[in-house]
Each structure stands twice: as structure tokens, then as C-alpha cells.
């Protein structure tokens, strides 16, 4: 069985981007692969130093993953900080990561721009911590959205540097999606991607109420529509179609495509339809997650079970790492 590893930060409510970029693939992979899925609570600290909401958010990420169909008996579903081995591998990999390449990382530049008051070393070395999570499980497949592509390339670089210097320990991990391309779910304002902690009004969360979903979609940016048949779509209109492709029936999408191409589209109607299809998609997940979130005892069992499995394989990897590095003195 191939080994799969991925993580989601506990920075807030999960959204459609997390679902289509990551969780949908987790669920599809759980039958046929050896899966490790993690709540990345340590990564959260790089941008969210206030920990007052952390516990609730960790519980939320677990509950929302389970509500989307992840079975904690089939996969290791665990919390990053329960695997102390991560810190040790992170330390070794930091010696193989160069300041210049870390400073060039797109997510570092973005987050540094968004939070100029807190450009900490943990943020700079975020890709190294991510590499430690993945390499610790010796994973080959990493289901992630498009925004993580560069981090995966860096993980491969760190793995190759390690293997080259100390001997072959790590497989090369690749970003994975069942479709041909990695997914990017756009935000409703036409600028960037949906995200947990930025752009909250332009992101559809799995916990949003039916009315909130309808309202957010209603407010999405549109224009008066094409005046000539066959006009190319502006980005923000392209995004609405992209969202429709994710949650609506194929013939609904085809009808609106046709209306667009005939220059006969009414965006009010399209947004109404998209809102209803989105509600149909999200409401059952929201209700299930809400019930799971109340059951703290169950969530604790899930975390303990997941950590036990993830630590076992992490310890085996670290043995190999220390051996290869020559850190065994007796």
C-alpha cells in the first residue's frame, strides 16, 4: 500500500477549498492507501499566536473531517503536537534548508505581507516543518490543493539533500489529486483563493448556515452580462462557473454555459441556483459535524488512536534517520 500524508491547520472553520482541494481526496484514498491525516496545530502557531481558540478549532477540524466521510478506524487521524518526533526531524531538516530558498517561498511572502507585525522564524521555516510531517511518515502521496505545490517541491528538495548526504531514507513525495490538476477553489470576490483565516465574507464555510450561504453567493461580484455571444468570461464570472461545476448537476451547469454563450445569461438566476445547490451540498455536512463536535470523549479517542499509529511509524523513521546521520554513539 502506498503511504499518504496530509494536514490542515486549525485556524478556523473549514471551507469548500479545503473540501475540494484536500478532504475529498482523503476520503477517496482511505480504502486503498495507508493514510496519515493530521490537524496541523503547530503550523497554526506561525500566524495565530493567540491559543485561546486552539482547542475548539482542533476539535472542529477533526469533526469536520469525520463529517465529510473520513473513518478514524481506517486512517490515522491525529494532532501534530501529539507527535514530538516531528520536532526532532524538523531540527535536522533545518540544517538542509537554505535561507534564500525559504525567503522566496510564495506563501511566506504572502503571509509576511498580510502580517508584517509577526514575521517570525517559524513562518520562514514553515516548509521545513511541513517536510518533517510528510517525511516522518515516509509518505509518497500528499493530497493537497494547488497552493501547496511549491511546498511539496521544497519537501522533495530537502528529502533529496538528506538522501544524497546521508544515504537513502526518504521516498520523494508528490502532491496528489485524483483529477489531472491540483485544485484551487477561488474566493467569491474574485481575488485569490477561499481560505480559513483571510477573506471570510468571500469564503463558503462548511459550518455556514443556509441563509449565510445564500447571502454570500448573492453578493458575489457579477456584471451586466455579455453583450455579444461568445465573449470571454472575466475572472470573477469564471469563478462562479467553477463553483457551479463543483456543487451543481452537470445539466444545470451546461444550461448556464449555454445562456452565457448566447449572451442571454441572468446572473441573479445563476446565483440563486448556485446558492441552493451549495446549501444542498453543505447542510448535511454541517449538521453531522455539529453533532460530532459535541462528543469530546469520542474526539479524544480518535486523537489517541491516531497518535499511537502515527508515533509508531515516526519512531521507526527516526531510528533510520539517526542511523544514517551517524548519530549513534554506542
Q: Which of 111, 221, 258, 271 is catalytic?
A: 111
Q: Reply yes or no on whether 55 is catalytic.
A: no
CA distance to 16, 214, 238, per residue, from 276 (Å): 15, 7, 19
Query: Shortest distance, CB of residue 328 to ligand ATP, whole angstroms?
Result: 36
Q: How many of the chain's residues bind ligand ATP (CB under 6 A)?
A: 21
Rule CB under 6 A: choose which of 183, 217, 237, 282 binds ligand ATP. Answer: 183
Q: Is 258 a catalytic residue?
A: no
Q: Where does this chain touch ligand ATP (CB under 6 A) — which range of 16-24, 130-138, 248-256, 292-300?
A: 16-24
* Cell triple for 51: 491559543
Q: Taking CB under 6 A as the rule, does residue 80 contact ligand ATP? A: no
Please indicate if the annotation marks 197 as binding a ligand.
Answer: yes
Q: Is 9 annotated as a binding residue?
A: yes
Among 24, 57, 105, 148, binds ligand ATP (CB under 6 A): 148
Torsion angle defined by CA atoms of residues 80, 135, 130 and 166, in that order, rounded to the nearest 10 degrees: 130
Q: Is 194 annotated as a binding residue?
A: yes
Residue number with CB closer to ligand ATP (63 or 265)? 63
Task: Quote the DSSP letter at residue 327.
Answer: -
**Per the residue annotation, which of 196, 233, 288, 320 is the catalytic one?**
196
Question: Which of the residues 104, 193, 320, 328 is marked catalytic?
Answer: 193
Please identify which residue in 3, 4, 11, 123 interacts with ligand ATP, judged by CB under 6 A. 11
Q: Which of 68, 72, 93, 145 binds ligand ATP (CB under 6 A)?
A: 145
For the question of residue 193 being annotated catalytic, the response is: yes
| Burial track 158-192 (b if 16+ CB lie within 10 A, e otherwise) | bbebbeeebeebbbebebbbeeeebbbbbbbebee
Query: How many C-beta atoms surround the C-beta of residue 57 within 10 A?
Result: 21
Q: Which among 9, 19, 39, 11 is positioned nearest to 204, based on CA atoms?
A: 19
Using CB under 6 A, pick the residue from 8, 76, 302, 314 that binds ligand ATP. Answer: 8
Q: How far apart, in Å, are the Cα atoms of 152 and each of 79, 132, 203?
A: 20, 11, 25
Q: Which of 4, 5, 9, 57 binds ligand ATP (CB under 6 A)?
A: 9
Interface with ligand ATP, residue 38, by CB under 6 A: no
Spatial separation of the C-alpha atoms in residues 97 and 118, rounded to whole Å: 21
Question: Which residues contact residue 231 at a Cβ distance below 8 angstroms, ignoring those fewer than 6 apart?
Answer: 263
Which residues are annotated as catalytic?
A: 111, 193, 196
Binding site for ligand ATP (CB under 6 A): 8-9, 11, 17-18, 20-22, 144-145, 147-148, 183-185, 193-198
Amino acid at each position: 500500500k502506498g503511504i499518504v500524508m496530509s494536514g490542515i491547520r486549525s485556524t478556523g472553520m473549514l471551507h469548500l477549498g479545503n473540501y475540494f482541494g484536500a478532504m475529498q481526496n482523503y476520503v477517496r484514498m482511505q480504502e486503498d492507501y495507508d493514510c496519515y491525516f493530521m490537524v496541523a496545530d503547530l503550523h497554526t502557531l506561525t500566524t495565530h499566536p493567540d491559543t485561546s481558540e486552539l482547542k475548539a478549532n482542533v476539535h472542529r477540524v477533526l469533526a469536520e473531517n469525520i463529517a465529510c466521510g473520513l473513518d478514524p478506524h481506517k486512517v490515522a487521524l491525529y494532532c501534530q503536537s501529539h507527535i514530538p518526533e516531528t520536532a526532532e526531524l524538523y531540527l535536522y531538516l533545518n540544517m538542509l534548508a537554505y535561507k534564500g530558498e525559504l525567503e522566496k517561498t510564495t506563501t511566506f511572502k504572502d503571509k509576511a505581507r498580510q502580517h508584517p507585525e509577526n514575521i517570525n522564524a517559524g513562518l520562514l521555516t514553515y516548509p521545513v516543518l511541513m517536510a518533517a510531517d510528510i517525511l516522518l511518515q515516509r509518505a509518497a502521496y500528499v493530497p493537497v490543493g494547488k497552493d501547496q505545490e511549491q511546498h511539496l517541491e521544497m519537501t522533495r528538495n530537502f528529502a533529496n539533500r538528506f538522501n544524497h548526504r546521508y544515504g537513502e531514507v526518504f521516498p520523494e513525495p508528490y502532491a496528489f489529486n485524483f483529477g489531472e490538476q491540483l485544485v484551487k477553489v477561488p474566493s467569491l470576490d474574485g481575488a485569490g483563493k477561499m481560505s480559513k483565516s483571510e477573506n471570510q465574507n468571500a469564503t463558503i464555510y462548511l459550518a455556514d448556515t443556509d441563509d449565510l450561504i445564500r447571502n454570500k453567493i448573492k453578493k458575489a461580484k457579477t456584471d451586466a452580462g455579455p453583450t455579444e455571444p461568445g465573449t470571454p468570461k472575466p475572472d470573477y464570472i469564471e469563478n462562479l462557473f467553477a463553483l457551479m461545476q463543483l456543487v451543481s448537476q452537470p445539466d444545470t451547469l451546461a444550461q448556464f454555459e449555454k445562456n452565457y454563450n448566447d449572451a442571454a445569461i441572468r446572473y441573479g438566476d445563476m446565483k440563486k441556483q448556485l446558492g441552493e445547490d451549495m446549501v444542498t451540498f453543505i447542510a448535511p455536512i454541517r449538521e453531522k459535524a455539529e453533532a460530532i463536535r459535541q462528543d469530546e470523549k469520542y474526539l479524544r479517542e480518535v486523537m489517541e488512536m491516531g497518535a499511537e499509529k502515527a508515533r509508531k511509524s515516526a519512531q521507526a523513521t527516526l531510528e533510520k534517520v539517526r542511523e544514517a546521520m551517524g548519530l549513534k554513539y554506542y
